[in-house]
């Protein structure tokens, strides 16, 4: 399998061999050197700080699609070395969200692979060895500056209007000085010796060539004084160790990429190819946040969105398949995987539009086969308190019928359960306008009483029989059907809208319909006759 996009020099390191003796188990020359076909290996590397957000989900999706498109591997790596921000439960939330979306990983948590473990917190030794190697080769140096000293100098730089970069104080320490400070037991970080002149060019598969002047970088930290790696360092060590061929990630990491390229160079290895995916913005073009509604996969799931809809929607957020030019928008995950290519990812930010997502969801709700629709909808009816968890067969059957009636009319599963509540509990509130218009009118009481008699007289209570009886009643009374139909709907469902009236009545059952008609009559009488 040839590596797509590996056509140009991947950066400043192309073609260079290892510089030093740095070797990690499982790390050799990166695949693909010398034009040999290299397997596609991509990774999604979330930091487990919370639930999976749409931006992260899209990054995961693009990686997954790219791996599937090229018969490669999709690796899930949990970047949990930031002890303060990482949350124990979050990796479980992230894996659950990915599984729900249908984005299965070939290697990662719960899926042992040749380059594990896949939690960075379990790979600390690897980073320390890599840092030690850079120290020995003089490409990195220990930095004894304390956080307080650094903060003080930053404040001073700020006061003087200077750049807030590390000032390189420990860069020039002689061996004797270092030994002395070490002997004093001063803790130290490890910093990369970044070239002070020149620049590094990121040759991005989406963004093109982006240059970064070394004067804008500082000697950034690889290992903190507590021995924990920084993101940039752990990321590079792991992308090498895991033989990642393409790094597809959010645009916000573009500014990290020159640092990472310098690290590949220091480690004497060729870097992977990079593709930075543009941001997702809110409709007002601000950063997408909580105030724009649901932003995490979990929230969408709870609101009754289907994974097919979310995946289809997210895939088209910043990328489009060729058929999109003819207006086609609906694609299954498998269809997306057949078509995905990085060269059709746009460079500009994508604007998030929940209306569009909702449209996709309505579509996929209608597409579900009835058994699957029931399976997905049932938890929402349970959550609304309409049916018990694990309901008996006859209740399940009723839910199944309600789902079939409601499915074409709602946009989400949560909306479905709310709209179908009247099937499972008595109506206590009525749509006010509907009540005023169809029930608070002369003759309504008599009409509903007659309707109730007809309902009671029916021997078969299926939709055709109910409809025939209703039409006959209107004809017998010499009235048009709408007042009868609308009054009945409001009385038995509480609403002016809903699935077909006769289907609805049939599913509610003869007894319930009779009772609800009687209750409406009673309410009307109470209101008009002052209770009489
Ligand atoms: N842990 C980083 C994040 O969640 C990963 C960035 C990358 O893909 O390199 O943003």
Strand 140-143 to strand 73-76: parallel, antiparallel, or no bridges (unpaired)? Answer: unpaired
Does CATH place domain 126-223 in 3.40.920.10?
no
Tell me what the mean pLDDT of segment 288-311 comes to: 92
Class of domain 41-112+233-280: alpha beta
List active site positions: 290
The response to whether residue 79 sits with its C-beta less than 6 Å from ligand 1 reads yes
The Å distance, Cα 335 to ligand 1 centre, comes to 27
Q: Is the CB of 235 under 6 A from ligand 1?
A: yes
Q: What's the fold here for domain 432-527?
A: Arc Repressor Mutant, subunit A (1.10.10)
pLDDT at 529: 73
Q: Is 362 in the pocket of ligand 1 (CB under 6 A)?
A: no
pTM over 0.75: yes
For residue range 451-497, what is the model confidence (pLDDT) as tens digits? 999 999 999 999 999 999 999 999 999 999 999 999 999 999 999 99
CB 197 within 8 A of CB 214: yes
Q: Is the dihedral of CA 124, 203, 254, 40 positive or negative?
A: negative
Domain boundaries, the chain: 41-112+233-280, 126-223, 368-423, 432-527
Quick check: 290 and 42 in contact, CB under 8 A? Answer: no
Q: Are 214 and 194 in contact (CB under 8 A)?
A: yes
pLDDT value of position 265 = 97
- Give yes or no for residue 45 CB within 6 A of ligand 1: yes
Checking if the pLDDT of 291 tops 70, the result is: yes
In this structure, the strands spanning 189-192 and 140-143 are antiparallel
Report the alpha-carbon distance of residue 453 to residue 458 in Å, rounded: 9
Of the candidates 140, 102, 427, which has an alpha carbon nearest to the alpha carbon of residue 267? 140
Tens of pLDDT, residue by residue over 193-205, are 999 999 999 999 9
47 lines ligand 1 (CB under 6 A): yes
- What is the pLDDT at residue 37? 64
Mean pLDDT over each residue of the chain, to the nearest integer: 91
**What band does 530 get if pLDDT is binned at 50, 70 and 90?**
low
| Ligand 1 pocket mutation, candidates 43, 44, 45, criterion most atoms within 8 A of CB | 45
**What dotted CATH number matches 368-423?**
1.10.8
CA–CA distance from 102 to each of 90, 339, 486 (Å)? 18, 17, 44
Do the domains 41-112+233-280 and 368-423 sit in the same CATH topology, yes or no?
no
Q: Which two tokens stand for residue 287?
A: 């950063």
Does the pLDDT at position 10 exceed 50? no
Cα(169) to ligand 1 centroid in Å equals: 30
Interval 304-355: pLDDT, tens: 999 999 999 999 999 999 999 999 999 999 999 999 999 999 999 999 999 9
Give the number of C-alpha atoms closer than 13 A to the C-alpha of residue 342, restricted to the C-beta side: 26
Cα(47) to centroid(ligand 1), Å: 7
- The model's confidence at residue 36, banded by pLDDT at 50, 70 and 90, is low
Residue 110 Cα to ligand 1 middle (Å): 20
The pLDDT of residue 1 is 41
Task: For residue 372, count CB atoms less than 10 angstroms from its CB and return exposed for 0-12, middle for 13-18, buried for 19 or more.
Answer: exposed
Tell me, what's the pLDDT at 28?
36
Q: What is the token pair recorded at 462?
A: 């299926």
Q: Which residues contact 297 (CB under 8 A, 6 or more apart)?
A: 51, 52, 53, 54, 57, 97, 100, 101, 310
Decide: 99 and 333 in contact? Cβ < 8 Å: no
**What is the spatial order of strands in the sheet that 246-250 belongs to?**
73-76, 41-44, 246-250, 273-277, 199-204, 208-213
């Amino acid at each position: 399998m040839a590596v797509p996009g590996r056509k140009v020099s991947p950066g400043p390191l192309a073609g260079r061999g290892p510089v030093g003796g740095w070797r990690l188990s499982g790390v050799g020359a990166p695949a693909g050197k010398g034009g040999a076909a290299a397997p596609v290996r991509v990774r999604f590397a979330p930091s487990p700080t919370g639930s999976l957000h749409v931006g992260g989900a899209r990054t995961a999706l693009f990686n997954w699609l790219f791996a599937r498109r090229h018969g490669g591997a999709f690796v899930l790596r949990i970047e949990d070395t930031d002890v303060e921000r990482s949350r124990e439960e979050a990796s479980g939330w992230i894996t659950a969200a990915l599984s729900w979306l249908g984005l299965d990983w070939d290697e990662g948590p719960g899926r042992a692979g040749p380059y594990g473990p896949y939690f960075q917190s379990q790979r600390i030794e690897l980073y320390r060895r890599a840092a030690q190697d850079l120290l020995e080769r003089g490409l990195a140096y220990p930095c004894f500056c304390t956080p307080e000293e650094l903060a003080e100098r930053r404040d001073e730089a700020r006061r003087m209007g200077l750049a807030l970069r590390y000032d390189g104080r420990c860069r020039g320490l002689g061996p004797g000085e270092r030994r002395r400070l070490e002997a004093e037991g001063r803790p130290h970080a490890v910093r990369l010796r970044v070239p002070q002149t020149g620049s590094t060019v990121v040759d991005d598969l989406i963004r093109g060539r982006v240059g970064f002047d070394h004067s804008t970088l500082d000697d950034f930290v690889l290992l903190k004084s507590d021995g924990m790696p920084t993101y940039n360092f752990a990321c590079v060590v792991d992308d090498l160790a895991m033989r990642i061929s393409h790094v597809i990630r959010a645009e916000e990491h573009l500014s990290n990429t020159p640092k990472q390229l310098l690290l590949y160079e220091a480690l004497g290895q060729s870097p992977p190819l990079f593709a930075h995916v543009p941001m997702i913005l809110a409709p007002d073009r601000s950063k997408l946040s909580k105030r724009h509604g649901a932003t995490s996969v979990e929230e969408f799931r709870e609101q009754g969105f289907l994974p097919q809809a979310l995946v289809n929607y997210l895939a088209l957020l910043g990328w489009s398949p060729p058929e999109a030019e003819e207006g086609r928008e609906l694609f299954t995950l498998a269809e997306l995987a057949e078509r995905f290519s990085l060269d059709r990812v746009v460079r500009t930010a994508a604007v998030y539009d929940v209306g569009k997502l909702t449209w996709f969801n309505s579509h996929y709700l209608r597409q579900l086969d009835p058994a699957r629709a029931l399976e997905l909808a049932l938890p929402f009816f349970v959550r609304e308190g309409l049916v018990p968890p694990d309901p008996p067969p006859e209740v399940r059957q009723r839910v199944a019928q309600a789902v079939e009636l409601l499915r074409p009319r709602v946009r989400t599963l949560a909306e479905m359960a709310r709209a179908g509540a009247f099937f499972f509990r008595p109506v206590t509130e009525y749509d006010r306008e509907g009540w005023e218009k169809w029930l608070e009118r002369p003759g309504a009481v008599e009409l509903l009483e007659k309707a109730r008699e007809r309902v009671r007289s029916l021997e078969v209570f299926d939709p055709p029989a109910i409809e025939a009886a209703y039409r006959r009643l209107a004809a017998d009374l010499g009235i048009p059907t709408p007042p009868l139909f609308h009054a009945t709907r409001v009385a038995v469902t509480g609403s002016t809208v809903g699935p077909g009236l006769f289907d609805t009545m049939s599913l509610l059952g003869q007894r319930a319909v009779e009772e609800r008609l009687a209750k409406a009559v009673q309410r009307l009488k109470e209101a008009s006759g002052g209770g009489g």
